[in-house]
């Protein structure tokens, strides 16, 4: 049997790491994550193992990469979509899923074996990535590909999907533990925030850093509450003029915690230019000073909601029958 030196080494690694021979039908079941896009890769793998082994190997590498990114997205863990390769992505996934070999308690029975298995997770992913670079699809080859058959592709596919299934099931297991822990918690009322005079509260938001809470109401007031005391430390009217009235539909803090982004209705009889408008405003949360306001040409309906993109100062809000996305410059 003929092998080049490179493929012999890679296949040897994969044979050593494979724990069990799986059926050639590749499938992944998952309840907690949106993994519909992963089935594109598994279908491509199944269809090409016999007819195009190189494509099956390339698709397995893509499946692993997509799985790692899916888990990181599910955990809201940042990664560089362009710069992070499979080893870097896997290291981050091991971190969020608590699969880091260095974190294994040495006093536990079989800890050495567990560490060895966890270390081999990286070897599986790296081995498949290297094999894909040598023999998989995705790179133009200078000549006829030799030495790769369907049995090699099946080995790579089975090993790769076993890794993906393990990581996805670990994610689901962790999430279920968190849910059961949450269900078992006894809820304790820390504070009931009281308004004087009583007002209807329309929205609330926690500060990302400080122990404070912002609330908006139908009286057009934004109130800042201290969580430890339940007392108001700041309050101010949201709009331009004392003569204006309205409500605060929605609010959220910027990611650096310096500003509040809010939406709401303005009704003014004195200032015609502000008459019956929906406004999106950026305010200094400590003073209530308006830093910026969306152009008056923008129109909004009566059900404004607002959301900030995680990690970026980009806001999205509903506008009539559309969703508008703006950058906070």
The answer to whether residue 192 sits within a structural domain is: no
**Whether residue 177 sits in one domain with residue 75:** yes
The tally of domains found in the chain comes to: 2
**Whether residue 109 sits in one domain with residue 252:** no
The answer to whether residue 196 sits within a structural domain is: no
**Whether residue 322 sits in one domain with residue 206:** yes
The answer to whether residue 190 sits within a structural domain is: no
The answer to whether residue 139 sits within a structural domain is: yes
The answer to whether residue 39 sits within a structural domain is: yes
Model confidence pTM above 0.85: no
- pLDDT reading at 20 higher than 90: no
Angstrom CA distances, 265 to 103, 117, 276, 286, 322, stand at 53, 59, 7, 22, 18
Pairing of strands 212-217, 277-284: unpaired
pLDDT tens digit string along 60-91? 999 999 999 999 988 888 899 888 999 899 99
pLDDT at 213: 92
**Whether residue 26 sits in one domain with residue 67:** yes
Residues with Cβ within 8 Å of residue 15, at least 6 apart in sequence: 155
- In the DSSP assignment, the letter for residue 273 is G
- pLDDT reading at 21 higher than 50: no
**Whether residue 175 sits in one domain with residue 222:** no
**Whether residue 85 sits in one domain with residue 43:** yes
**Whether residue 139 sits in one domain with residue 45:** yes
d(CA 256, CA 258): 6
The answer to whether residue 65 sits within a structural domain is: yes
The answer to whether residue 189 sits within a structural domain is: no
Greater confidence (14 vs 82) lies with 82
**Whether residue 232 sits in one domain with residue 120:** no
Which domain-ending residue is among 184, 219, 254?
Answer: 184
**Whether residue 145 sits in one domain with residue 64:** yes
d(CA 21, CA 155): 8
**Whether residue 179 sits in one domain with residue 73:** yes
Residue 29's closest CA among 161, 194, 152, 198?
161
Least confident of 118-122, 289-293, 304-308: 304-308
**Whether residue 281 sits in one domain with residue 153:** no
- pLDDT reading at 151 higher than 70: yes
pLDDT tens digit string along 216-240? 888 888 999 988 888 888 888 765 4
> What CATH number corresponds to the domain at position 268?
2.130.10.10
Contacts 24+ apart (CB under 8 A), 22-26: 22/158, 22/161, 22/162, 24/49, 24/154, 24/157, 24/158, 26/157, 26/158, 26/161
**Whether residue 158 sits in one domain with residue 97:** yes
The answer to whether residue 273 sits within a structural domain is: yes
Average pLDDT across the chain, whole number: 75
Which domain-ending residue is among 149, 184, 219?
Answer: 184
Domain that includes residue 10, residue range: 5-184
pLDDT at 89: 93
Least confident of 81-95, 116-130, 204-218: 116-130
Residues with Cβ within 8 Å of residue 291, at least 6 apart in sequence: 259, 282, 283, 284
pLDDT at 297: 44
């Amino acid at each position: 049997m003929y092998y080049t030196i490179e493929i012999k080494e890679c296949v040897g690694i994969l044979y050593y790491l494979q724990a069990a021979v799986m059926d050639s039908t590749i499938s992944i079941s998952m309840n907690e994550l949106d993994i519909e896009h992963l089935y594109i890769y598994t279908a491509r793998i199944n269809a090409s193992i016999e007819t195009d082994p190189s494509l099956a190997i390339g698709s397995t590498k893509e499946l692993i990469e997509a799985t790692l990114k899916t888990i990181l997205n599910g955990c809201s863990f940042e990664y560089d979509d362009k710069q992070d390769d499979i080893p870097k992505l896997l290291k981050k996934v091991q971190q969020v899923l608590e699969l880091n070999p260095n974190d294994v308690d040495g006093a536990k029975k079989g800890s050495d074996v567990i560490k060895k298995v966890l270390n081999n997770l990286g070897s599986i992913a790296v081995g498949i990535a290297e094999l894909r670079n040598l023999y998989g699809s995705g790179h133009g080859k200078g000549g006829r590909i030799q030495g790769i058959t369907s049995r090699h592709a099946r080995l790579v596919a089975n090993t790769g999907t076993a890794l993906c299934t393990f990581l996805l099931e670990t994610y689901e297991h962790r999430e279920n533990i968190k849910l059961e822990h949450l269900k078992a918690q006894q809820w304790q009322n820390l504070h009931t925030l009281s308004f004087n005079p009583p007002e209807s509260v329309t929205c609330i938001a926690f500060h990302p850093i400080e122990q404070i809470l912002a609330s908006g109401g139908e009286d057009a007031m934004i109130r800042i509450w201290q969580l430890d005391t339940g007392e108001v430390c700041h309050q101010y009217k949201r709009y331009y003029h004392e003569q204006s009235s309205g409500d605060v539909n929605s609010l959220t803090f910027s990611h650096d915690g310096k500003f509040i982004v809010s939406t709401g209705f303005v009704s003014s009889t004195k200032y015609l230019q502000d008459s019956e408008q929906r406004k999106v405003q950026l305010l200094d949360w400590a003073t209530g000073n308006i830093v910026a306001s969306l152009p008056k040409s923008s129109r909004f309906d009566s059900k404004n909601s607002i959301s900030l993109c995680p990690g970026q100062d980009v806001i999205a809000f509903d506008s009539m029958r559309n969703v508008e996305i703006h950058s906070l410059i």
